């Protein structure tokens, strides 16, 4: 007979990301962050390939990346409002963790399984931060999808890409919850 964990189930039924603009200091210390990162690594990982890694961005690094996004956006001819939105993702943050998808060519484990594992790390880190009492959000954007920005600004290697940027901090306000999916519209039961 299964042993339920009502507190964990209540967390999953009510969990929600916090808008990055509502996150401020204090942010987790390195000691606070380590259990969250460790929890995030406990995801399905066919072949134990660990096809992901973390880059923890502290304030000075975030400000550097904001400027790098402005420069790269201008080089790419992106409209100023879009550039500033991408730069603000770094400039307005105090702590963020980049989850990097790392290619592992084994010939046995399909690439899609490695991609899904990296996505699972993002969600696990987000949930670990929320469960630890912090506000958190999972973002991406034009800048982290741009190969040149990834290489020059983040130092990613050939074939690596950003699965997500997880912002973590102290929540200042909680906007109203958004409408959630209707289970009846999305679940198909097959009995035979």
Domain spans of the chain, in order of start = 19-173
For residue 73, give the DSSP letter.
H
| pLDDT confidence band for 127 (50 / 70 / 90) | very high
Going by C-beta distance under 8 Å and a sequence separation of 6 or more, which residues neighbour residue 121?
A: 40, 41, 43, 52, 99, 163
Structure tokens at 45: 């990982």
CA dihedral sign, ordered 24, 52, 155, 139: negative
CATH numeric code, 19-173? 3.40.109.10
What is residue 107's predicted lDDT score, i.e. its pLDDT?
Answer: 87
- Helical spans, DSSP H, in 27-161: 30-40, 59-76, 80-91, 111-131, 142-145, 147-152
C-alpha 170/C-alpha 160 separation (Å) is: 30
Predicted pLDDT of residue 175: 82
Length in residues, the chain: 192
Q: Identify the bridge partners of residue 57 per DSSP, sorted by sequence position.
A: 96
**Which of 74, 182, 92 minimizes the C-alpha distance to 137?**
92
pLDDT of 7 > 90? The answer is yes
For 78-125, the pLDDT digits (tens) are: 999 999 999 999 999 999 999 999 999 888 999 999 999 999 999 999
Question: Residue 48 carries which DSSP code?
Answer: S
Instruction: Answer yes or no: are the C-beta atoms of 20 and 62 closer than 8 Å.
Output: no
Contact in structure between 73 and 143 (CB atoms under 8 Å) = yes
pTM above 0.85, yes or no: yes
């Amino acid at each position: 007979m299964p042993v339920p964990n009502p507190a964990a189930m209540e967390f999953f039924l009510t969990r929600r990301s916090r808008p990055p603009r509502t996150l401020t200091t204090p942010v987790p210390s390195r000691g606070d962050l380590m259990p969250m990162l460790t929890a995030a690594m406990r995801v399905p990982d066919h072949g134990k390939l660990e096809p992901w890694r973390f880059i923890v961005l502290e304030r000075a690094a975030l400000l550097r990346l904001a400027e790098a996004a402005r420069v790269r956006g201008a080089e790419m001819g992106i409209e100023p409002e879009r550039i500033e939105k991408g730069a603000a993702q770094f400039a307005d943050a105090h702590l963020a963790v980049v989850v990097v998808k790392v290619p592992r060519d084994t010939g046995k484990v399909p690439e899609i399984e490695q991609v899904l594992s990296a996505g699972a790390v993002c969600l696990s880190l987000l949930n670990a931060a929320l469960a630890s009492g912090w506000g958190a959000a999972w973002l991406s954007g034009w800048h982290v999808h741009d190969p040149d920005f990834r290489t020059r600004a983040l130092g990613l290697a050939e074939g690596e890409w950003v699965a997500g940027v997880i912002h973590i901090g102290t929540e200042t306000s909680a906007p109203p919850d958004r409408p959630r999916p209707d289970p009846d519209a999305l679940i198909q039961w097959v009995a035979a």
